[in-house]
């Protein structure tokens, strides 16, 4: 409630009406401007005579305050000296209705960081604006901050009394007395400001500076967050605390401030002025960042276990779905990717020990039909083996009539350990090609040795009719494992196949066009002139006809090659130890699950989803890109379609889940 006082007119312009309050640097009245008929707040700073130097200083400081315009600074509209009352300086300010920050602190105690920061930000704007205008406050304290009700229910902050401590030369009250304005201890001697908020350099009687105001602002921030100033007790205790003591860590309501906020709060309270933040706004920015970091840390502590659990659950569901369900379209995608790897990989020369003898149209056009050439072919191949060949493998389903040919029978009986013949299993299960060993030849060999001559030439084409894989063994109707033609023929290269996996990828890096080849019609002449060409070679004999073509991935693309060339690629791949291989299933699934779990955890925990999604997408592309050199140099085939599908499904599930999960607090820069 205002206190009436006898009406008094200042300089014939302002009639003092109500006494609004009293502070250490003057008395405040409500005053009516007689000309404008508008009310203002008038502060009578000090009664008594002022020397000319003090009057000049007052005018200089008052003019500076009058030029200070800011939404959070109480506006000084006029100033003067009331000579009628004995040279009393006065300032005229806008009239505001509200309570001081000191009143708010007493009424509500410590404020949460999120409530204190808007008040501190407004005070900091006022301080920095004044500093930019060359004005120091010198007496910052909660009693000099007015909180006016705003239209939206928020406080409108106004900082009072900029520069008045210097104008009136505060500090004339006895030590230990309390100021009626805010109930706080005042200083002694020439100390400018209240001890509770005084910077160490002011206590040491050094000049005030911007850093002094930043220190006082730090004390105000401490009091808002802690509920009390950092140093309390007698005047001497307070002064000693500012000079030498470390402010205690606040624990409002028994709960310590977040570690990050406490670290930021100590920065404006440093004893060395140069070590403090340069502006009050910088203090607020650091506190705001610290508050958000603290909120982020608490969010992590609460949300991380839950989100990791969700990521593990999603990963388990996706991996389970991928393991129990066959997805043909994914297989097709992986095959296309593998074809690209082959196409972009460095080529590899074929095994020089493999020699192809091709029965083409040119070889057959001048001679008898194949059915009638058993003796000729048998005798020629006997000469090839006698020339030092490691073995001969015939990639032809030989007719039954050959069993009666002495030349072919001689080849079989003399070189059965180095001979491979072709058999095939038809869709109905009937085996063809074995009829070429019958009669006396079969009797001489015995059933087991006769059956041991054959390997199955059946191939496994994919849905797109491209052959990418081969086998070492097939299981017949009786459940017995029978070797494939390529697995049987590779014995001539002394390659152990017992420990190799049954199913394997054909090494498309082998350039199938570079195998050494001799047309059948040129074989006799070659045996006469250069028999050494056959020495230590595995000789593969087969047809090369336009109607017998098979698509295989090669560096120049998916090519149509002869059946003999395809079998040569199978033999070459086996002889090289099957260098093209997939990772072991169990470790790969485990690694895939771990990476997927990490990706989903990152997506669930990332403060911002877009960068996280882009990061996961980049990681998927990187894995896809790295799968190419992994194949080129090491022969590893990493499936990419299923991991990509997992990531795609996982991202969509995460997008749905994040709508129901609390977002992470933002941390400003």
Q: pLDDT tens-digit profile of 89-126? A: 888 999 988 899 999 999 998 999 989 999 999 999 99
Q: 32, 18 in Cβ contact below 8 A?
A: no
* pLDDT for residue 177: 39
Residues facing 519 on adjacent strands: 358
Rounded distance between C-alpha atoms, residue 249 and residue 262, angstroms? 7
Rounded distance between C-alpha atoms, residue 639 and residue 644, angstroms? 9
Q: 454, 488 in Cβ contact below 8 A?
A: yes
* pLDDT for residue 4: 47
**266 contacts: CB under 8 Å, gap ≥ 6:** 247
Closest CA to 513 of 483, 557, 469: 557
* pLDDT for residue 181: 37
Closest CA to 288 of 120, 165, 160: 120
Domain residue limits, the chain: 3-93, 99-278, 308-340+583-658, 352-575
* pLDDT for residue 269: 96
**164 contacts: CB under 8 Å, gap ≥ 6:** 25, 26, 43, 45, 91, 138, 139, 170
* Residues assigned a catalytic role: 139
H or E element that contains 597: helix 585-605
Closest CA to 258 of 282, 288, 294: 294
First to last CA, the chain: 46
Sign of CA dihedral 536, 542, 544, 547: negative
Span 99-278: which CATH code?
1.10.510.10
Enter the tokens of residue 659: 């709508």
Residue 272's CB is within 10 A of a number of other CB atoms, namely 9
* pLDDT for residue 255: 76
Number of H helices, E strands in the chain: 21, 23
Instruction: Please report, for residues 158, 225, 283, the alpha-carbon distance to residue 213 in angstroms, rounded to integers and kept in the order given.
Output: 16, 18, 12
Closest CA to 568 of 320, 294, 358: 358
pLDDT digits (tens, 9 = 90+) for 323-378: 766 678 888 899 999 999 999 999 999 999 999 999 987 777 766 788 889 999 99
Rounded distance between C-alpha atoms, residue 177 and residue 180, angstroms? 9
Enter the tokens of residue 16: 């003092």
Q: What is the DSSP letter of 433?
A: S
Closest CA to 459 of 328, 580, 567: 567
Edge-to-edge strand ranges of the sheet holding 467-471 = 460-461, 467-471, 503-505
Phi first, then psi: give them for residue 166, nearest 5 degrees. Answer: -75, -35
Continuous H helices in 374-511? 374-386, 406-415, 439-445, 447-451, 485-489
Relative orientation angle of helices 328-343 and 641-658, to the nearest 10 degrees: 120
CA dihedral 480, 481, 482, 485 (to 10 degrees): 160
Closest CA to 50 of 97, 90, 10: 90
Distance between alpha carbon 58 and the CA centroid of its chain, in Å?
61
H or E element that contains 357: strand 354-359
Q: What is the DSSP letter of 417?
A: G
Phi first, then psi: give them for residue 516, nearest 5 degrees. Answer: -65, 130
The structure's pTM equals 0.63
* pLDDT for residue 141: 93
* pLDDT for residue 48: 54
Instruction: Please report, for residues 85, 91, 302, 422, 560, the alpha-carbon distance to residue 88 in angstroms, rounded to integers and kept in the order given.
Output: 6, 10, 62, 124, 110
* pLDDT for residue 589: 85
Residue 435's CB is within 10 A of a number of other CB atoms, namely 16
Domain 3-93 CATH class label: alpha beta
Enter the tokens of residue 536: 């230590």
* pLDDT for residue 186: 38
Q: Taking all residues of the chain, what is their mean pLDDT, rounded to a whole number?
A: 87
Q: What is the DSSP letter of 249?
A: P
Rounded distance between C-alpha atoms, residue 400 and residue 432, angstroms? 10
Closest CA to 214 of 133, 157, 131, 148: 131
Question: What residue ranges of the chain have pLDDT lower than 70?
Answer: 1-6, 23-25, 46-50, 85, 165-193, 324-326, 366-367, 666-669
Q: What is the DSSP letter of 351?
A: P
Residue 264's CB is within 10 A of a number of other CB atoms, namely 25
pLDDT digits (tens, 9 = 90+) for 162-186: 877 666 553 333 333 333 334 333 3
Q: 642, 319 in Cβ contact below 8 A?
A: no
* pLDDT for residue 252: 80
Contacts of residues 471-478 at CB distance under 8 Å and 24 or more positions apart, as own/partner, are 471/502, 471/503, 471/504, 472/497, 472/500, 472/501, 472/502, 472/503, 472/504, 472/574, 473/502, 474/425, 476/425, 476/431, 477/429
Continuous H helices in 229-343? 235-244, 259-266, 280-324, 328-343
* pLDDT for residue 592: 86
Phi first, then psi: give them for residue 582, nearest 5 degrees. Answer: -90, 155
């Amino acid at each position: 409630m205002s206190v009436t006082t006898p009406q008094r007119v200042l300089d014939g312009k302002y009639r003092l009406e109500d006494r609004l309050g009293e502070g250490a640097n003057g008395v405040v009245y409500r005053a009516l401007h007689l000309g404008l008929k508008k009310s203002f707040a008038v502060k009578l700073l000090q009664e008594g005579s002022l020397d000319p130097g003090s009057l000049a200083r007052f005018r200089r400081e008052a003019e500076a305050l009058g030029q200070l315009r800011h939404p959070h600074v109480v506006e000084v509209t006029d100033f003067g000296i009331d000579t009628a009352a004995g040279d009393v300086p006065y300032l005229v300010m806008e009239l505001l209705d509200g309570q001081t920050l000191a009143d708010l602190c007493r009424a509500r105690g410590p404020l949460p960081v999120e409530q204190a920061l808007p008040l501190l930000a407004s005070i900091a704007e006022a301080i920095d604006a004044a500093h930019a205008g060359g004005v120091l406050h010198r007496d910052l304290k909660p009693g000099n901050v007015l909180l006016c009700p705003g239209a939206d229910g928020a406080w409108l902050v106004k900082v009072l009394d900029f520069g008045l401590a210097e104008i009136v030369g505060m500090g004339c009250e006895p030590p230990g007395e309390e100021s009626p304005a805010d109930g706080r201890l005042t200083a002694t001697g020439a100390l400018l400001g209240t001890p509770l908020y005084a910077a160490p350099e002011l206590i040491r009687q050094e000049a005030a500076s911007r850093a002094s105001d930043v220190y006082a602002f730090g004390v105000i921030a401490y009091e808002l967050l802690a509920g009390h100033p950092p140093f309390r007790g007698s005047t001497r205790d307070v002064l000693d605390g500012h000079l030498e003591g470390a402010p205690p860590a606040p624990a409002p309501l028994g709960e310590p401030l977040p570690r990050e906020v406490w670290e930021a709060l100590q920065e404006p309270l440093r004893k060395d002025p140069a070590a403090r933040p340069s502006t009050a706004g910088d203090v607020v920015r650091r506190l705001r960042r610290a508050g958000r970091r603290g909120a982020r840390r608490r969010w992590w502590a609460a949300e991380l276990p839950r989100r990791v659990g969700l990521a593990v659950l999603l990963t388990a569901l996706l991996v389970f779905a991928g393991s129990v369900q066959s997805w043909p379209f994914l297989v097709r995608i992986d095959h296309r990717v593998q074809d690209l790897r082959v196409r972009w990989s460095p080529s590899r020369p074929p095994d020089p020990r493999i020699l192809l003898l091709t029965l083409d149209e040119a070889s057959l056009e001048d001679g008898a039909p194949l059915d009638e050439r058993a003796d000729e072919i048998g005798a020629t191949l006997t000469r090839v083996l006698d020339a030092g060949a490691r073995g001969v493998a015939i990639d032809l389903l030989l007719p039954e009539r050959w069993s009666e040919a002495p030349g072919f029978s001689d080849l079989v009986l003399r070189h059965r350990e180095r001979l491979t013949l072709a058999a095939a299993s038809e869709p109905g299960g009937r085996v063809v090609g074995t009829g070429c060993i019958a009669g006396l030849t079969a009797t001489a060999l015995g059933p087991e040795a006769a059956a041991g001559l054959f390997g199955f030439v059946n191939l496994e084409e994919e849905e797109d009719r491209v052959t990418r894989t081969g086998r070492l063994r097939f299981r017949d109707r009786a459940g017995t494992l029978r070797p494939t033609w390529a697995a049987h023929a590779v014995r001539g290269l002394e390659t152990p196949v017992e420990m190799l996996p049954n199913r394997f990828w054909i090494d498309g890096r082998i350039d199938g066009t570079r195998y050494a080849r001799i047309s059948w019609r040129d074989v006799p002449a070659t045996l006469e002139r250069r028999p050494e060409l056959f020495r230590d070679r595995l000789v593969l004999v087969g047809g090369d006809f336009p109607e017998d073509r098979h698509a295989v991935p090669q560096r120049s693309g998916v090519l149509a090659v002869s059946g003999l060339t395809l079998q040569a690629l199978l033999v070459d791949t086996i002889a090289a130890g099957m260098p093209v291989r997939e990772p072991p299933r169990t470790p790969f699934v485990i690694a895939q699950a771990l990476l997927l779990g990490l990706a989903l955890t990152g997506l669930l925990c990332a403060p911002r989803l877009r960068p996280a999604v882009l990061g996961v997408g980049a990681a998927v592309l990187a894995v896809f890109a790295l799968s190419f050199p992994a194949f080129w140099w090491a022969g590893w085939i990493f499936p990419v379609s299923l991991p990509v599908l997992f990531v795609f499904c996982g991202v969509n599930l995460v997008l749905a889940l994040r709508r129901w999960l609390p977002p992470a607090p933002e941390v400003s820069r």
